[in-house]
Amino acid sequence: MWVKTLGREHGITAPLRVDHRRVARRQLVAALKRSSKGIEALLKLGLASEGEVPPSRGYVWRNLSLDVAHVLAYFVAHEAHHRGQIVMVARQTGHRLPRATTNGLWQWKTDAAQP
């Protein structure tokens, strides 16, 4: 949604959303890659605009500073939040994840290097 909200007016195309009830793993991985490209484009836009993502009419909340450092920090924290949710939901539903899996959730560099 951030790619759509902040980028649409500046020519950055937001990836289509997947049906979270029916998406296959391969489709999800492809969608996440497209989303990553959109986030990257937003950050590049901000760097090219003197360190600030240009404002857009779609961004009505104004609760996130649009300097690149804040935007990047927010995206990293938000991603970590979702990874934590995965572990929490698994535990709450009685499906304790293997240690290798939970540890792997935080190996961002390894995940980024995989095709």
Annotated domain spans of the chain: 2-113
For the question of whether the overall pTM of this predicted structure is more than 0.95, the answer is: no
What pLDDT shows up at residue 106? 79
Task: Give CA–CA dist 71/27, Å, rounded.
Answer: 27
Residues of the chain whose pLDDT is less than 70? 108-115
Rounded Cα gap, residues 70 and 112, in angstroms? 21
Residue found by looking up tokens 């484009």 in the block = 41
pLDDT for position 58: 87
Secondary structure letter of residue 1 according to DSSP: -
List b or e across 64-77, with b for residues whose CB sees 16 or more CB atoms inside 10 angstroms: bebebeebeeeeee
pLDDT at 60: 87
Q: With residue 92 as reference, give the H or E element that holds it.
A: helix 68-92
Q: Roughly how many angstroms between the first and final C-alpha of the chain, as a whole number?
A: 24
